[in-house]
Chain A
Amino acid sequence: MTGFARRLAGKLLAGLVMVWVVVTFTFFLVHALPGKPGDVQYESYIMQGFNPEEARAKVTAVYGFTSHDPLFSQYLGYLGRLLHGDLGQSVYYSGVPVSHLIWSALPWTVLPVLTGLLVSFLIGVIAGVIAAVKRSSRWGGLLSVSGSLVAGVPSFVLALLLLLVFHTEWHLLPDAGTSDITLEPGWSPEYVGSVVQHAVLPVISYALLSYGGWLLAMKSSVITVLGDDFILASELRGLAPVTRARYIGRNAILPLFTVLALSFGIMFAGSFFIEQTFDYPGLGELLLKSIGVRDYPVMAGAFLLITVAIIAANIVADLCYTLIDPRVRR
């Protein structure tokens, strides 16, 4: 077995143990929440205008999907099903497989969050390098201020501001939804264009929210690298500025790489505020709704997805790090 394969096997094993620990913890945690699925929904149905008989009948249907076995026996059953790739059935959606609900919501989280993440990383890192190199100039200062400013604005304020400008005032972009429902889903230019158009504001929101963090982190990292001896040596040796910039960039980006990898995992949690503001329903909304109605299987399934994604991202980051930075392998 090569060194890389050994490292991979070790990390996968540790990852599996970690997943089991988190799965166990979240299973008991979600069941410890006060309230029962049916009780919550009765009041909700009444508020929606159902008459008491209809509300009671619906609650009866919900109770039908709520396990009444002892909790530990439910836990063993849950683990057994997980080993077969079965996340169970939703209570709130009367038996719809949890994996189906998650799978249906997943694209509408991954599309805007992944795009926003990559865009913000790209722009933030470039701006961070400029802000560090030109830190004594007006432009460097402006970039740094822009990073601090955007990082300090709450997500819902930013999203509402974008909505006000681009939808309410300028009528440029749609305010809600994921595409024009009258278009047949597929790869037609109209449908793809509609999806892109509806994703613009959520993507900009995600991108702006994390842009400041990337910029400030990169700036700080570049400034640290600029003080290193090898940079001074490269200047003394008369290396071209482009070459020196490459040296600086490669070394400064290393700490950000781990954060980026973890962000890929965290993105599966979605962002409820942005999803809600742009009515762009993804995993964030599904998870929050499931908590509100005590849909234990969906809650556990969503937490599992987030956990696995973060642990997998962490493993990938660790392994890639050894490839990017040879010092780690020693």
Chain B
Amino acid sequence: MSRQRTLVAGLAAAVALTALSACSSSAKKTNNGDGGGAKKDGGVYTSIDANYQITAGAPMNPFNSSPNMFLGYDQMRLGFDKYNPLDPNDLFPGLAASWTATDTGLTVQLQPNAKWSDGTPVTVADIKTSLAIAYTQGTAGPVAGAGGTIVQGTNFEVSDVKDLGGGKIEIDQLPGVKNLYFQRLVLSATIVNDKVYSPQLPADIWTQIAAVQGPDPAAAKAAADKLSAEGKTIAAFAPAKDVSAGPFVLTRVGPGEALLDRNQYFFAVDKVAPKQVILRHYTGNQQIWGFLTNGELDSSPYTSMPTNIADQVVKAGYTRTDAPSYVSASIAFNEKQAPYNNTAVRQALAYVIDRDAVTKVGEPVGGIAAPYTTGLIGSQTDAFLSSDQKSALNAYKPDPAKAASLLQGAGFTKDGAGQWHLPDGSPWTITLQTVNGFSDWIAASTIVANELTAFGIKTTPAITADFATYQKEMGAGKYAVGWWLTALGPQTDKAYNRIYGAADGFSVVNGKATHSDTSPANWFHTPATYTVNGQTIDPGQLTADLSVTPVADQKPIIAQLAAATNQELPMIQIWNYTKVGFFTEKHFTNFPKTGSDALLLNPPGVWMMQGYIQAK
């Protein structure tokens, strides 16, 4: 009997525990997504930070590579990039109210009421410390060149920060270094509190920076090594509490969520409606789909999803937003492996692959079939090429007859069963390599394989276990044909560097590009030069030239690179990604909508600073 009593007592305890949980405040809050929302005091705004997955134990330090720190909420910058491809220096004001480019750099006027969450003002010391830290983190300083040399000019390089009084600051670029993007890079630097971070830096940090920038190579190297070691200390630093100059300050981080409270000292606090922000942890797209279909988020970051999920999300009361994403999914070739060293073969494949059909399956919601292969996304191609130049591009619309003609011209033959054979007579088969976790590439590979197989080239998709292995094996030349991200912008030199950079055997020293087919990083293995419209061009040199050419003067260079890429097809651009987001006006109103590209490419904290997201 006593055991029965024990069992009954145990059951009673379990029931009591359940009752306790049912009576807890959270029981009432977490059931159907109505827990947050706008109230008289502003309410709770719930979203997901796409930059980092929340990790219990990660520091509240923006210089850590995976911090619990959230851009636009408690992580602030002088300005926020509008990702304008035609004006790289176009930014939203952040802690800087305004700025002016000067001959030596720029002057910045701080927001008159900029304060930290402890009530102290944002000062020149904060900006100076932050830029010194940027130097230690590889953002601002020189980069290591071959043989451990120091290469100036790749990054923005601040030589001095002067207090001009009245919240005005002069930020100078190292004399002799001309980084075209100095203004954007300085304004985009993360600003942290001097009192919190300067104890982590040596007192002579600017002396060390001056030594790195000095004429003595040995002293520069020694100082750079020292800065690098100090950078590690900064990156690992875990402040005890968050001191923010942004609209919110981090109150608490749990394994599954982060809670931020409105910063009452924020310079534009009257524009910020939510009293709190909850950022939820996620490990994959499926979780975000679940949060959205259950109506638990006020807005979502870009999330790849199939059409049926997007429909369910809209059905749950969300409005969809679209903004350009400066990334393309492409099928790239290793031209060291025959027959992909033959331009006609790559062109024939481009004529066989129906990009619209592939995109509809691979990335139906967040992708737009690439209109051209130029090395840039569609809207950038539109911005930089004239209509005549665009009309001269080959769109490679599906045309099996043209593909067959190109292959026959290259010595390929087709047997009675419809199978294509290589010029040496062996059957032509393709292994299309993709990678685990990239569900869009995997789905798209099936369609590409079907299309090529139907055309007579037996194609099999193959999946590599993870991206690290994929990257390693691709770099080692193991794959002949595989998926690759290209058109990384909005800076055009970065977009072309993805194709005509290290991955193609190009390296640049003092503005001069050289090509090596045997370079270990070279896996594209394209020729060093192309002949386009009767002219010989060097894509590596043109890409290097782009990095030192003002955007206004880049069009002739881009025209050559786009035409060469379109003709030679080192890769076939399949789709351009679109940054698809969702918001619901269940709790808040005045969200940025499709068309507000600059805002949509920034996190909601930046929207709030601009007066968006108002209580309903």
A residues with CB within 8 A of B: 33-36, 39-41, 43-44, 46-54, 56-58, 60-62, 64-65, 89, 92-96, 100-101, 103-105, 108, 163, 167-168, 171-185, 189-194, 196-198, 200, 275-276, 279-282, 285-286, 289, 291-294
Nearest CB on B from A231, distance (A): 20
| Chain B residues within an 8 Å CB radius of A33 | 468-469
Residue contacts A-B, CB under 8 angstroms, 8 given: A39-B472, A54-B139, A61-B231, A94-B236, A105-B57, A177-B254, A181-B258, A190-B26
| Chain A residues within an 8 Å CB radius of B252 | 181, 184-185
Task: Report how far A183 CA is from B465 CA in the complex, Å.
Answer: 40
Q: Is B23 an interface residue (CB 8 A)?
A: yes
Asked whether B235 lies within 8 Å of A182 as measured between CB atoms, the reply is no
Q: Which of B63-71, B111-119, B241-249, B454-462 contacts A (4 or more CB under 8 A)?
A: B63-71
- Given contacts A34-B472, A64-B235, A104-B255, whether A197 and B466 have CB atoms under 8 Å apart is no
| Chain A residues within an 8 Å CB radius of B59 | 93, 96
Nearest CB on B from A76, distance (A): 22
| Chain B residues within an 8 Å CB radius of A275 | 283
Task: Report how far A188 CA is from B254 CA in the complex, Å.
Answer: 17
| Chain B residues within an 8 Å CB radius of A178 | 254-256
Asked whether A92 lies within 8 Å of B65 as measured between CB atoms, the reply is yes
In-complex Cβ contact of A95 among B21, B236, B283 (8 A): B236
In-complex Cβ contact of B468 among A35, A93, A94, A181 (8 A): A35
Can you name the residue of chain B whose Cβ is closest to the Cβ of A168? Answer: B294
Q: Which residues of B from 262 to 311 have beta carbons under 8 Å from A? A: 276, 278, 280-284, 287, 290-291, 294, 296, 302
| Chain A residues within an 8 Å CB radius of B15 | none
Interface mask (B9-30 → A, CB under 8 Å = 1, otherwise 0): 0000000011011111111011
| Chain B residues within an 8 Å CB radius of A293 | 468
Task: Report how far A9 CA is from B235 CA in the complex, Å.
Answer: 43
Task: Report how far A47 CA is from B137 CA in the complex, Å.
Answer: 21
Nearest CB on A from B321, distance (A): 14
Can you name the residue of chain A whose Cβ is closest to the Cβ of B438? Answer: A47
- Given contacts A51-B491, A101-B55, whether A180 and B20 have CB atoms under 8 Å apart is no
Asked whether B255 lies within 8 Å of A280 as measured between CB atoms, the reply is yes
Asked whether A171 lies within 8 Å of B255 as measured between CB atoms, the reply is no
Task: Report how far A30 CA is from B231 CA in the complex, Å.
Answer: 26
Can you name the residue of chain A whose Cβ is closest to the Cβ of B61? Answer: A94
Asked whether B254 lies within 8 Å of A35 as measured between CB atoms, the reply is no
Nearest CB on A from B254, distance (A): 5
Nearest CB on B from A258, distance (A): 24
Can you name the residue of chain B whose Cβ is closest to the Cβ of A58? Answer: B65
Asked whether B55 lies within 8 Å of A276 as measured between CB atoms, the reply is no
A-B residue pairs, 6 tightest by C-beta = A35-B468, A193-B24, A95-B236, A104-B57, A177-B256, A180-B26
| Chain B residues within an 8 Å CB radius of A62 | 65
Can you name the residue of chain B whose Cβ is closest to the Cβ of A288? Answer: B283
| Chain B residues within an 8 Å CB radius of A100 | 57
Asked whether A35 lies within 8 Å of B51 as measured between CB atoms, the reply is no
Nearest CB on A from B516, distance (A): 20
Task: Report how far A189 CA is from B19 CA in the complex, Å.
Answer: 11
Asked whether A276 lies within 8 Å of B283 as measured between CB atoms, the reply is yes
Q: What number of A-B contacts does a CB cutoff of 8 Å give?
A: 247
In-complex Cβ contact of A52 among B22, B29, B294, B488 (8 A): B488
- Given contacts A49-B302, A105-B57, A196-B21, whether A35 and B30 have CB atoms under 8 Å apart is no
In-complex Cβ contact of A108 among B18, B81, B233, B255 (8 A): B255
Nearest CB on B from A240, distance (A): 13
New A-B contacts (14) at CB < 8 Å, excluding given A61-B138, A176-B287: A49-B601, A51-B489, A52-B497, A57-B137, A57-B138, A57-B139, A175-B290, A175-B294, A177-B30, A178-B254, A192-B20, A192-B24, A196-B24, A291-B466
Task: Report how far A55 CA is from B228 CA in the complex, Å.
Answer: 17
Nearest CB on B from A182, distance (A): 6
| Chain A residues within an 8 Å CB radius of B55 | 93, 101, 104, 281, 286
Asked whether A53 lies within 8 Å of B185 as measured between CB atoms, the reply is yes
- Given contacts A176-B256, A179-B26, A182-B276, whether A196 and B57 have CB atoms under 8 Å apart is no
Task: Report how far A268 CA is from B87 CA in the complex, Å.
Answer: 52
Interface mask (B432-471 → A, CB under 8 Å = 1, otherwise 0): 0000000000000000000000000000000000111101
Can you name the residue of chain B whose Cβ is closest to the Cβ of A42? Answer: B471
Q: Is B399 an interface residue (CB 8 A)?
A: no
In-complex Cβ contact of B471 among A35, A103, A171 (8 A): A35
Asked whether B235 lies within 8 Å of A95 as measured between CB atoms, the reply is yes
Q: Interface residues of B, CB < 8 Å — how many?
A: 83
Nearest CB on B from A10, distance (A): 37
Which of A173, A185, A191 has most B Cβ within 10 Å?
A173
Q: Is B616 an interface residue (CB 8 A)?
A: no
Nearest CB on A from B13, distance (A): 12
In-complex Cβ contact of B485 among A43, A61, A193 (8 A): A43
Asked whether B491 lies within 8 Å of A198 as measured between CB atoms, the reply is no
Asked whether A34 lies within 8 Å of B56 as measured between CB atoms, the reply is no
Nearest CB on B from A25, distance (A): 20
Asked whether A60 lies within 8 Å of B137 as measured between CB atoms, the reply is yes
| Chain A residues within an 8 Å CB radius of B188 | 54
Asked whether B254 lies within 8 Å of A94 as measured between CB atoms, the reply is no
Task: Report how far A176 CA is from B290 CA in the complex, Å.
Answer: 10
Task: Report how far A282 CA is from B65 CA in the complex, Å.
Answer: 20
Interface mask (B170-181 → A, CB under 8 Å = 1, otherwise 0): 000000000001
Q: Is B490 an interface residue (CB 8 A)?
A: yes
| Chain A residues within an 8 Å CB radius of B485 | 43, 46-47
In-complex Cβ contact of A39 among B22, B181, B471, B488 (8 A): B471
In-complex Cβ contact of B21 among A103, A200, A294 (8 A): A200
Asked whether B238 lies within 8 Å of A96 as measured between CB atoms, the reply is yes
Can you name the residue of chain B whose Cβ is closest to the Cβ of A282? Answer: B255
Task: Report how far A62 CA is from B232 CA in the complex, Å.
Answer: 9
Nearest CB on A from B298, distance (A): 15
Q: Is B390 an interface residue (CB 8 A)?
A: no
Asked whether A180 lies within 8 Å of B469 as measured between CB atoms, the reply is no
Which of B20, B57, B283 has most A Cβ within 10 Å?
B57
Interface mask (B21-45 → A, CB under 8 Å = 1, otherwise 0): 1111111011110000000000010
Nearest CB on B from A171, distance (A): 4
Task: Report how far A102 CA is from B595 CA in the complex, Å.
Answer: 44
- Given contacts A64-B231, A181-B258, whether A193 and B26 have CB atoms under 8 Å apart is yes
Interface mask (B463-495 → A, CB under 8 Å = 1, otherwise 0): 000111101110000000000010011110010
Asked whether A61 lies within 8 Å of B235 as measured between CB atoms, the reply is yes
| Chain A residues within an 8 Å CB radius of B185 | 53
Asked whether A52 lies within 8 Å of B236 as measured between CB atoms, the reply is no
Task: Report how far A58 CA is from B134 CA in the complex, Å.
Answer: 11
Task: Report how far A281 CA is from B466 CA in the complex, Å.
Answer: 21
- Given contacts A35-B469, A180-B25, whether A189 and B284 have CB atoms under 8 Å apart is no
Nearest CB on A from B34, distance (A): 10
| Chain A residues within an 8 Å CB radius of B473 | 34
Asked whether B63 lies within 8 Å of A61 as measured between CB atoms, the reply is yes
Asked whether B50 lies within 8 Å of A35 as measured between CB atoms, the reply is no
| Chain A residues within an 8 Å CB radius of B50 | 48-49
Nearest CB on B from A172, distance (A): 7
- Given contacts A108-B255, A180-B29, whether A51 and B18 have CB atoms under 8 Å apart is no
Task: Report how far A58 CA is from B59 CA in the complex, Å.
Answer: 15
- Given contacts A48-B50, A53-B185, whether A93 and B29 have CB atoms under 8 Å apart is no
Nearest CB on B from A38, distance (A): 9
Asked whether B56 lies within 8 Å of A104 as measured between CB atoms, the reply is yes
- Given contacts A49-B50, A181-B259, A193-B23, whether A89 and B236 have CB atoms under 8 Å apart is yes
Q: Is B525 an interface residue (CB 8 A)?
A: no
